[in-house]
Amino acid sequence: MLLKTKGVSINIEETLVGKVTRLPENLTSDSFLLVDDEIQAYPDKAHLGILSKQNDIYDLDNGSVVLKIPTLEHLTEGDIVSVGADGNIHTLYRVDSYHNTLLATERCNSNCLMCSQPPRDKNDVSFLYGIHKKLIPLIPKDCVELGISGGEPTLMGELFFDMLEKIKHELPDTEIHVLTNGRSFAWDHMAYRLSQVDNNRLMLGIPVYSDYYQVHDYIVQAKDAFYQTIAGLHNLARYNQRIEIRVVLHKLSIPRLVKLAKYIYKNLPFVEHVAFMGLEYVGYTPHNIDKLWIDPMDYNKELGEAVEFLANKGLHVSIYNSQLCVLPENLWQYARKSISDWKNSYMPECQSCSKLEDCGGLFTWNLKKHSEHIKPFTTNVLELSSGIE
């Protein structure tokens, strides 16, 4: 899915953020006019700028314009974009999607072996926050869910809490899901400050990869990460924050998976949700594939035991990023269609599968690396004939 395009900018000095519209009558001071074909007349209503596929626009009148954009088809009425002085147009929010996420920072204090978005050590916090400050008030008030990811969002420092407060103010009915490694919350004042945001629609997704500190620290490539994350989880629980534990399934986490499930039940019983997640073949994973790869079919025994242990203890458990044909049927009840629409794909053979509608499919990048056991379900002839009168 296209989320970025580029043209030639004119009269743009700083990054602009606005909604897009193809209808001149809908223009407002915070929206861009999209021009696919010939522009009829330069708009007389206030607007942020014009984004055009054309090579030229007459009567520019010092307005902000991006010309020669190869395509605008990916943009829907009401989508929100940022437009840079360099002519880059990034889609920040898609009105037709439930999977919108704000990138807090690309910096991280961990360096996980299977990180899907490898950290970059650049000081991007104030630039990105400047964009989010403009974006948040433009997001439709009926937005169901908004993600915040990184990097490690808490490295924004006080701006992290500022951002959460802004979101709560502008979007009080939106579920907020923050992906964090949780280590910053080992410091009590961070957990306390989060509690001051006082948003019961806020959930933190925090990874724990093993019950044994050396394995967790090795997977995240950071000394003391396990102790910090566990201390952070307890601090957050003391302040009554909502927590989801995320466990990525691979060759290093599988051997102690059942022990980890028992550890979670005994030591972290306050968590609201535990998600077991299939491996993404992107970011660092292809480079570390020999350390990480195990065919999902080959860990069904451990996964089943861990999931059923926690579910039987009354915890809410999910399996993400897995395909129904690779999971035993008793685990289907835990499988969610978890992959964001813009990175979700199916194999060619899925088109003939009778479970296509119920199956979450694959990450687009996992088309290159997936279970050897993906195989379409065929409609049972007996099932069919039982419906014939």
- The residues binding ligand SF4 (CB under 6 A) are 323-325, 346-347, 349-350, 353, 355-356, 359, 361, 374-377
Minimum distance, C-beta of residue 207 to ligand SF4, in the bound complex (Å): 25
Residue type, 343: K
Minimum distance, C-beta of residue 60 to ligand SF4, in the bound complex (Å): 51
Question: Tokens representing 183?
Answer: 């280590």
Minimum distance, C-beta of residue 313 to ligand SF4, in the bound complex (Å): 29
CB closer to ligand SF4 out of 197 and 367: 367
CB closer to ligand SF4 out of 173 and 383: 383
CB atoms within 10 A of CB 149: 18
CB closer to ligand SF4 out of 312 and 352: 352
Residue type, 122: K
- Could you give the maximum distance between any two Cα atoms of the chain, in Å? 72
CB closer to ligand SF4 out of 179 and 353: 353
CB closer to ligand SF4 out of 315 and 350: 350
**What's the chain's length in residues?**
389
Minimum distance, C-beta of residue 339 to ligand SF4, in the bound complex (Å): 11
Distance of alpha carbon 59 from alpha carbon 46, whole angstroms: 15
CB closer to ligand SF4 out of 316 and 337: 337
Q: Look-up: residue for tokens 């520019």?
A: 60
CB closer to ligand SF4 out of 260 and 359: 359
Task: Transcribe 184-234 into DSSP letters.
Answer: GGGSHHHHHHHHHH--TTEEEEEE---SSHHHHHHHHT-TTHHHHHHHHHH
CB closer to ligand SF4 out of 205 and 361: 361
Helix (H) or strand (E) run with residue 382 in it:
helix 381-386
Q: Look-up: residue for tokens 């861990």?
A: 306
Instruction: Spell out where 22-154 has E strands.
Output: 31-35, 49-52, 65-67, 80-83, 88-93, 100-103, 145-149
The region that residue 301 occupies, defined by phi over 0 for left and psi between -120 and 50 for alpha, beta otherwise, is alpha
Nearest to 244 by CA among 264, 222, 218: 264
Strand 242-248 to 273-277 pairing: parallel
